[in-house]
Structure 1
């Protein structure tokens, strides 16, 4: 089967879904009680067929969320096969506590897990927003239960059935909140998300209808369930279905307004339970424990996410406080603190020597002038990488600013100092391939050392290295001048 591309029009899917809803409704209305279970069964198996076909064709690249949905639909289909008579009997929203109720609640839990798996990649930039939306949906189910569902439950409702029904309502509300948040993040995938949102809302409406009415209400709740099946069957057929698992940027920020709504949502169930206790309602104890069992894991996950955000922010701040933004080397502040620490160790006798090498690039300004600052930045980053590779593992490399770098060596270098300087010179002088062309720069290195008995501070040590570096530049300048014997004869 050939599936439409993401750029294909979606109206054929909408038209087919509308036609299927009208056809299924007409068939169910015209069929007698003995044939209605068959009509319902055919409708309930349709989303399993479309999902498996979409997965087999490769239309849905991220398979796990959809496979979880197939498992949930399979449970509902199995319940329909085992208990076909419930279509003609009041069942939805009646809190009977039967095996069918348990099957339905378990299936909806699979839908919630499937939606969570779908948004794990899509919401990688905003996991906190998804958790908040799910929490808000779960907590919004509390008023629905206390003010709409629970007062109209039949007298035969079982305690276990009420727990299952309440958990089912809260899970459906959580799915709806999660789907709404995903749709707010980016436009791609909104067509499929719209179908999933309709599925959740219609399923919730079917449950509420089954509770509020009996007799003719059974027909309405069953009809709404068929609409839910047909809309979830249309979701994988939509051209943008693959996009709902693609990562997107963060949606609206988590400001004070959203945190305020979250606080209000988390307060809803305890406040409702408190009001019921004050009024002396016997069922007041049901909402709080069941709602808490579902909400607490998400709250803990949100706290863990916030803690992780704080830790990452602290690590980022600590990194930027000690590292140069352009090159990633240690910055002037950190390298100065390390020099002070090393000199203190020398004074205490725990370190035998400190050596610093001050490196200044030669010919760097013409690179900036000819190729621009982006090329100059690329050269500085490459020099930083080469210096890091040239020094010893325990040496520290920092950037003082501009084209000046400093290397801190702890411990006596001895003869290795000349080898280290040679490695640095050779590494930096190698050509740099840039997009605009190949450039070359040189480097002049000034060395200064401090050992036991030499009382110097950091500024003096850097000043000695700076003087040695400029002496090297001056010496190379004299060497570069032509000798008198080599000079061209003066014109007469």
Structure 2
């Protein structure tokens, strides 16, 4: 089927949402007591249809997670068909712990699991911010439970029913926080994320309204419920839905102090509310503290793990930068000097038979920079580094000393034909952005064997002198005038 192009405007979908919402609410009022479940069933089927069509058309990437999400929506539709009076008669949010409540919670979990899997690429770009948003949302569910839901629960409610509705509310609040965070990122995916966010908010409103009139017909709860389904139905219809799973730049992070302040306040909410409830003699205080803490702990552990991974990655990056040349990726001067000292120590202990240094200085490199610019010169140095790495042995250490000078350390008493292979490799033309470029190389060697007195400065000085001798031999001799 055809689908809205990515560049299509979103306003027709918004108009469709408003029209369907108005038509659904009017139809619900006019249908009467017996016909209202039919209206609710039709509206509950709309997101199943739109999501299935969006997946079939290829408008949504990563089909398997979205199929899981659609399974959750289909389960909600099945619950509406099997228990048509669930919302109409005020069972929504009554914490009865019946089959309908279990099905509803399972459907929410299935949809949210599929959505989280599909959004993983997008979430991974801002893992810390997403976890923080989930913590803030989850902790915000505490006040909703204490001030709105728990005081209005029926006296006959069971502990299991309270646990079920509390978990459902806290999960929805946590997901709401994630959607809110992702909706702050500019781009085409913002509109679908706002639709998912709206659906989550309306579901919480439906539960809150349902609790206040448990056991009675509640049109507000039904209205919020239907609007949540319609907001869910338009999410895949929006032109930007294709970008929901695309990786993107994260939202602007809050400053460290501000973020810690918000997290501290959020994590303190449930314990403080529980303390107030205990002082008032409420039996639900321990339930909120236990369930809320159990749901917060995994997020806190995940946040700590992410911070630890971030620190380890930063340490590895710093360690790599300290020992490697930024341009070529070879070892830098500091590292190779330490390697020479370590090799000499092994030589003096008798652990090595000998070591060899090969000091390589490029010939004709400066004209490349002068003629083609530094960008092509950098490309030439990178190509030289790759060729040096290719012709040396795995145990050799290749470093860039700076400019167009390279050094190879071989933990062996003899360089063999390595100098010849390096020369042959570097003299081959290099295909760069400016075209084929050729450089030469002059190599100076110096070695030391076990039992011979040697230090780093002496070895490098000998290799440098040998290299300059080779340079002099390459220069054309001046002719004497007759």
Q: Same fold (TM over 0.5)?
A: yes
Q: Judge which range, 420-429 or 28-37, deviates more.
A: 28-37
Partner of 1:36: 36
Q: Which residue of 2 aligns with 1:101?
A: 101
165-174 vs 101-110, greater mean Cα deviation: 101-110
- Whole-angstrom CA distance in 1 between matches of 2:132 and 2:234: 28
**Partner deviation per Cα, 1:153-187 (whole Å, 9 max, x = no partner):** 12122211111111111111112111111111232
Which residue of structure 1 lines up, in the alignment, with residue 401 of structure 2? 400
Counterpart-to-counterpart distance in 2, 1:276 and 1:405: 72
Residues matched between the structures, number: 481
Quote the residue 1:307 is aligned against. Answer: 308
210-219 or 419-428: which moved more?
Answer: 210-219
Show the 5 A alignment for 1:185-224.
185-213=185-213, 218-224=218-224
Picking from 415, 428, 431, the partner of 1:430 is 428
Residues 218-274 of structure 1, C-alpha deviations (whole Å, 9 max, x = no match): 111011101111111111111111111111012222531123212221221122212
2:329 is paired with a residue whose SS is coil
For residues 282-314 of structure 1, the C-alpha deviation after alignment (integer angstroms, 9 at most, x for no partner) is 211111111122222222222221111111111
Contact in 2 for aligned 1:356/1:465 (Cα 8 Å)? yes
Residue 175 of structure 2 is matched in structure 1 by 175
**Structure 2 residue aligned with 1:261:** 262
Matched ranges for 1:127-276 at <5 A: 127-213=127-213, 218-253=218-253, 255-256=255-256, 257-276=258-277
Comparing 269-278 with 376-385, greater Cα deviation is found at 269-278
Counterpart-to-counterpart distance in 2, 1:215 and 1:75: 23
Q: TM-score, normalised by structure 2?
A: 0.96
Closer, same or farther: CA 365–430 of 1 in aligned 2, 3 Å? same
Contact 2:429/2:437 (CA < 8 Å) preserved in 1? yes
Map 1:280-291 → 2, pairs under 5 A: 280-291=281-292
Shift, 1:215, TM fit: 7.3
**Deviation for aligned residue 1:217:** 6.0
Distance, in Å, in 1 between the alignment partners of 2:87 and 2:146 is 26
2: distance between equivalents of 1:375 and 1:87? 70
CA contact under 8 A between 1:112 and 1:174: conserved in structure 2? Answer: no
1:88 aligns with 2:84: no
- Where structure 1 has 5 or more consecutive residues not aligned to the other structure, the ranges are none
For the 8 Å contact 2:93–2:214, the answer to whether it is kept is no
CA deviation after TM superposition for structure 1 residue 418, in Å: 4.6
Report the alpha carbon displacement of residue 459 of structure 1 after superposing the two structures with TM. 1.0
- Deviation digits for residues 465-490 of structure 1, max 9, x if unmatched? 1011001111222xx33788xxxx96
Which stretches of structure 1, 4 residues or more, deviate above 4 A after TM superposition? 214-217
Q: Residues of 2 paired with 1:304 and 1:88: CA distance? A: 45
Q: Report the Cα offset of residue 16 of structure 1.
A: 1.2
1:474 paired with 2:472, answer yes
* Deviation of 1:88 (Å): 3.0
Indicate how the Cα distance of structure 1 residues 111 and 264 shifts in structure 2: closer, same or farther if over 3 A, else same. Answer: farther
Alignment of 1:39-118 (within 5 A): 39-118=39-118
Q: For residues 468 and 319 of structure 2, what CA distance do their matches in structure 1 show? A: 34
CA distance in 1, matches of 2:434, 2:74: 61
Q: Residue deviations 1:378-400, cap 9 Å, x none?
A: 11111011111111121110011
My pick for the range that moved more, 122-131 or 59-68, is 59-68
Distance 1:217 1:144, change over 3 A: farther
**1:35 to partner: Cα distance:** 1.2
In structure 2, what is the Cα distance between the partners aligned to 1:215 and 1:343? 86
* Farther-moved stretch of structure 1 (236-245 vs 246-255): 246-255
Distance 1:219 1:418 in 2: 90
Task: Tell me the distance in 2 between the aligned counterparts of 1:64 and 1:132.
Answer: 27
Q: How far, CA to CA, are the matches of 2:88 and 2:358 in structure 1?
A: 88
TM-score (norm 1): 0.94
**Cα distance in 1 for residues equivalent to 2:217 and 2:365:** 83
User: Could you tell me which residue of structure 1 aligns to residue 458 of structure 2?
Assistant: 460
RMSD: 1.7
Q: Does the 8 A contact of 2:94 with 2:214 survive in 1?
A: no
C-alpha distance in structure 2 between counterparts of 1:398 and 1:207, whole Å: 66
Q: Distance in 2 between matches of 1:249 and 1:32?
A: 50
Please give the alpha-carbon distance, in whole angstroms, between the structure 2 residues aligned to 1:355 and 1:236.
65
Secondary structure of residue in 1 paired with 2:454: coil
Counterpart contact for 1:360–1:404, Cα < 8 Å: yes
Q: Measure the CA separation in 2 of the matches of 1:243 and 1:112.
A: 18
CA apart distance, 1:451: 1.4
2:358–2:444 Cα contact (<8 Å) kept: yes
In 1, Cα distance between the equivalents of 2:65 and 2:192? 13
Alignment match of 1:451 (pick from 435, 443, 449)? 449
Corresponding residue SS for 1:291: helix
Contact 1:139–1:269, Cα closer than 8 Å, also in 2: yes
